[in-house]
Amino acid sequence: MDFLNSSILYYLLLLAIPIIIHLFNFRRHKKIYFSTIFFLKKIKKDNKAKYQLRRWIILLNRICAISLIILAFALPYIKKSNNINTTNKTGFYIDNSFSMNKVDNKKIQLIEYAKNNAIEIISELNDDHQVLIMTNDFQKNHQKWYSPTKAIELIDEIQISQNSKKLETVINRYNNIIDTLYLNKLYIFSDFQIKSNTNNVIYNKYTDLKIGLLNIEDNNNISIDSCYFTTPIRKKNEMETLTVKISNHGSESRVVKAKLSINQQQMSIHNIEIPSLSTISKNFHYVNPVNIDTIKGVIEIDDSSIEFDNKLYFSYSTNKKVEVSVIHDQNISPPLLNIFSDSLFDFYPYTINQIDYKKLYNSKLIIIDQLSEISNILSKNLIEYLNNGGNIFMFLNNQININSYNSFFEIINIDSIDQWKVGKSQVEYINYQNRIFTNVFNKEKERINLPYANGYFSMKKNNKSQIRKIFNFLNNDSFLSEYIYQKGRVYLCNSDLNTDNNNLSNHGLFIPCIYNAALINLQKKNLYYTIQNETIIEEFNINKSDIVHLRKEGAFDMTPLIMNLNQKTLVNFQDKIPFDGNYNLIINQTKKSPIAFNYNRSESSLIFLDKKDIINMFHYQNIEFLKIENNIVSEKSKKNQDTQQLEYFFIISAIILLIIELILLRIWKM
């Protein structure tokens, strides 16, 4: 048996007091005169031995009761007997996710409390004990058993990490490392943020869990969630409107200072009021630089609660061009040449026999300009292009091979071509809601000048088609329609660009329709990427043979994996990106593309599980909550490994002895 608070044992010296009282009876004697004392002497002689025995019994009872009380305050315990189902191995999981970066009023981070508590417990272990340290990083050196001294050194090195693991994943990993024939212990120090835990029941059979629930009452936090442009194209020396979303996760309204910097130059600064438990959008205005086409921006707020979400990086280039391909027979329609002469586009015209299919897959829009027929090889490649989210714009004329077109249309579930109709027909219906009119109209108009046609193809309905009307004639025939197939879209104009057959090419809606068809896929352009376990991008035209580097000046340099998938070259950064910021993607040591990475914002919301939630999560399995006050583990919990506490036994025994003394005093009338 040992004691957690052995200094209390000095109070056993107080046992001398009742002994002294019993040995030296300081009671005053009163003289009583009798005519004869013969009978009194006889009574005294007969009862003296019995009286002395009772006094010693009472003395012994009191000494035992006082001793038991003193021993109870000394917190006695005994080592549990060794069992074939137990082992001298103990694991420690220290949550080092971003939420553990919170500080209390003493400016101490939660992760520091977690590390210190673990160190205090490990310090009480025997030298032959084996310790395993785990964090959210799942590092290789955290998969081995160490001595207590080495384990403490590893804990000192733990830092806040962008990684976050579910508790179920941590426990399963620990169970895979230990020998499951033996019962092991795992200490868990975490704030138990809801994001890192689920409502699913965690089943744990071989591990005795010791829960160290850490918490700071102040859960206020302001986070920058995202930023975006409403238009897809960026140009030099043009005014930009960047929309930024900022959230207040606390219960009080806050005013924060937010500033925007472009290429390390501050562009604007705002004081923004954010109501409690709400998200607002704030517009930042600035002009793109004239002399540089690489833009690296950062939005920053001043919030001291949690810092990882105080900055949001973004980047883009103002020299990016939109690739458009036109496939034709002999000559391109002049209206198309006029549109794509804009510096915004990289324009690639192909005759039917000179198509570069590899470049074709990089196009944001493929225009089929009155092609006489759709060959089998072209059909196959166009289908693959649509499967990967491409857009096709098709113009028909009355000289095409209808059967070849219908064969292609049948595969991609488009209505089939019927017959060419001659005669002037006025477009009477326009679908304002179609994405092809994005940013074209401020409001819907009752009367609007729409195109007309002198000749067009009528269509036969395909029940499998997913059609979206754009322009319809009065007889409900289609003039321009959108068909959805897989991830792609086909815009089908039932006439050509010959001014004798229609006035579409001279109409004010022609250019917006073609522009938006080419730019629709750019609406999803990422200004940044979120750091994940595996970060893959497909925004860059890279060959598998290219030498690619991701570099941050003076801080980081890596070579990502280059992969081919569905005719696209992907760049896989795996989980090697160490921190957020603006990087450069360097291709063959010459080409540079800016690319920004940000931390996942899922830990910005500071909502945590309580003890009841944790108990429910383990479905009332055998778990133990460590006694923690102000995020510090009590002395009792520190020294409670492989021990059985005895203080309650001593207290109950002392109470029993005191009751026995009262009964004896009453019976013996002492």
| Gap between the Cα atoms of 572 and 561, Å rounded | 5
Q: For residue 292, which amino acid is it?
A: I
| pLDDT for residue 102 | 87
pLDDT-based confidence at residue 478 (cuts at 50, 70, 90): very high
pLDDT-based confidence at residue 28 (cuts at 50, 70, 90): very low
- Whether 562 and 625 share a structural domain: no
The answer to whether position 358 is within a domain reads yes
- Whether 463 and 551 share a structural domain: no
pLDDT-based confidence at residue 396 (cuts at 50, 70, 90): very high
| pLDDT for residue 362 | 84
pTM of this prediction exceeds 0.85: no
- Whether 386 and 495 share a structural domain: yes
- Residues 571-593: b if buried by 16+ CB within 10 A, e if exposed: bebeeebeebbbbbbbbeeeeeb
The answer to whether position 454 is within a domain reads yes
User: Which CATH number fits the domain that encloses residue 362?
Assistant: 3.40.50.880
Average pLDDT over residues 423-449: 90
| pLDDT for residue 26 | 47
HSE-up of residue 328 (Cα within 13 Å, Cβ side) = 15
Q: Which of 524, 553, 582 is the last residue of a domain?
A: 524
- Whether 94 and 141 share a structural domain: yes
| pLDDT for residue 279 | 94
| pLDDT for residue 52 | 74
| Gap between the Cα atoms of 390 and 327, Å rounded | 15
Instruction: List, as own/partner pairs, every contact residues 331-334 make where C-beta atoms lie below 8 angstroms and the sequence separation is at least 24, other chains included.
Output: 332/369, 333/369, 333/370, 333/395, 333/496, 333/497, 333/498, 333/505
Q: Residue 576: which domain range?
A: 529-596
| Gap between the Cα atoms of 214 and 493, Å rounded | 64
Q: Is the pLDDT of residue 485 over 50?
A: yes
* Residue 160: C-alpha distances to residues 96, 98, 99, 132, 218 (Å): 5, 6, 9, 19, 19
- Whether 555 and 446 share a structural domain: no
Count the domains in the chain: 4
- Whether 491 and 550 share a structural domain: no
| pLDDT for residue 85 | 47
The answer to whether position 416 is within a domain reads yes
pLDDT tens digits, 110-148: 999 999 999 999 998 888 889 999 999 888 888 889 999
- Residues 629-667: b if buried by 16+ CB within 10 A, e if exposed: eebebeebbbbbbbbeebbeebeebbeebbeebeeeeee
The answer to whether position 495 is within a domain reads yes
User: Which CATH number fits the domain that encloses residue 556?
Assistant: 2.60.40
| pLDDT for residue 543 | 75
pLDDT tens digits, 543-560: 777 888 898 887 889 988
pLDDT-based confidence at residue 18 (cuts at 50, 70, 90): confident
Percentage of the chain modeled with pLDDT above 70: 88
Average pLDDT over residues 444-455: 91
| Gap between the Cα atoms of 411 and 425, Å rounded | 30
Crossing angle between the packed helical segments 148-156 and 110-123, to the nearest 10 degrees: 170
- Whether 536 and 442 share a structural domain: no
| pLDDT for residue 643 | 58
460's CB contacts (< 8 A; 6+ apart) are: 415, 416, 417, 418
- Whether 22 and 126 share a structural domain: no
The answer to whether position 72 is within a domain reads yes
Average pLDDT over residues 299-309: 89
pLDDT tens digits, 46-93: 566 777 777 788 888 888 888 888 888 877 766 654 444 456 889 999
- Whether 327 and 455 share a structural domain: yes
The answer to whether position 228 is within a domain reads no
The answer to whether position 258 is within a domain reads no
Mean predicted lDDT score pLDDT of the chain: 86
- Whether 62 and 142 share a structural domain: no
- Given a contact cutoff of 8 angstroms between Cβ atoms, the answer to whether 639 and 4 are in contact is yes
Least confident of 183-197, 212-226, 229-243, 255-269: 183-197
| pLDDT for residue 196 | 60
Q: Which of 494, 524, 554 is the last residue of a domain?
A: 524
pLDDT-based confidence at residue 410 (cuts at 50, 70, 90): very high
Q: For residue 57, which amino acid is it?
A: I
Q: Which residue has the higher pLDDT, 18 or 70?
A: 70
- Whether 629 and 558 share a structural domain: no
Neighbours of 320 (CB within 10 A): 17
The answer to whether position 233 is within a domain reads no
Residue with tokens 């990087």: 583
Q: Is the pLDDT of residue 17 over 80?
A: no
If 0-12 CB within 10 Å is exposed, 13-18 middle and 19+ buried, where does residue 114 land? buried
| pLDDT for residue 452 | 96
Q: Is the pLDDT of residue 275 over 90?
A: yes
Least confident of 214-218, 426-430, 579-583: 214-218
pLDDT-based confidence at residue 217 (cuts at 50, 70, 90): confident
- List the one residue out of 528, 525, 522, 524 whose CA is nearest residue 314: 528
User: Which CATH number fits the domain that encloses residue 135?
Assistant: 3.40.50.410
Q: Which of 524, 539, 571 is the last residue of a domain?
A: 524
H/E stretch holding 243 reads strand 239-248
- Whether 331 and 468 share a structural domain: yes
| pLDDT for residue 214 | 92
| pLDDT for residue 179 | 66
